[in-house]
Structure 1
Amino acid sequence: MTGAWLWGYVSAMAAGALLFLRWSASPKGVPAVEYRVAIAVPVWSGLWYAVMALGGGQVDGDGHPVYWARYVDWSVSASLLLTALALTATHALPHRHPRLLVALVGANLAMILSGLLGDLATDPWPQYLFFGLGALGLLAILALIYGPLRAVARRQPHRLYRAYREAALLLGGLWLGYPVIWLLGPSGVGMLGGTADTALFVLLSIASKVGWGALDLARLRELGARGELPLGGSP
Structure 2
Amino acid sequence: MEVTEEEYEKCVSPHPLFFSNNGDIVFKFDRAGLFYFISGVRGHCDRGQKMIIKVLDIEASPSPQYANSTTPKPHSKSGVAELTPMRIMTESIVIMLTILGAAGAQEIGKHHNKGRTLNVKQVSYHEFEKFVKEESSRPLANLSTPLCSAHQMGSCRMGSNPKQSMVNETGETWEMEGLYVPDTSVFPTALGVNPVVIVQAIAYYVAQSVLEVLRMKRSK
Write 1 or 2 for the structure with the bigger share of helix.
Answer: 1
RCO higher in 1 or 2 (8 Å CA, sep ≥ 6)?
A: 1
TM above 0.5, one fold? Answer: no
Q: TM-score, normalised by structure 1?
A: 0.25
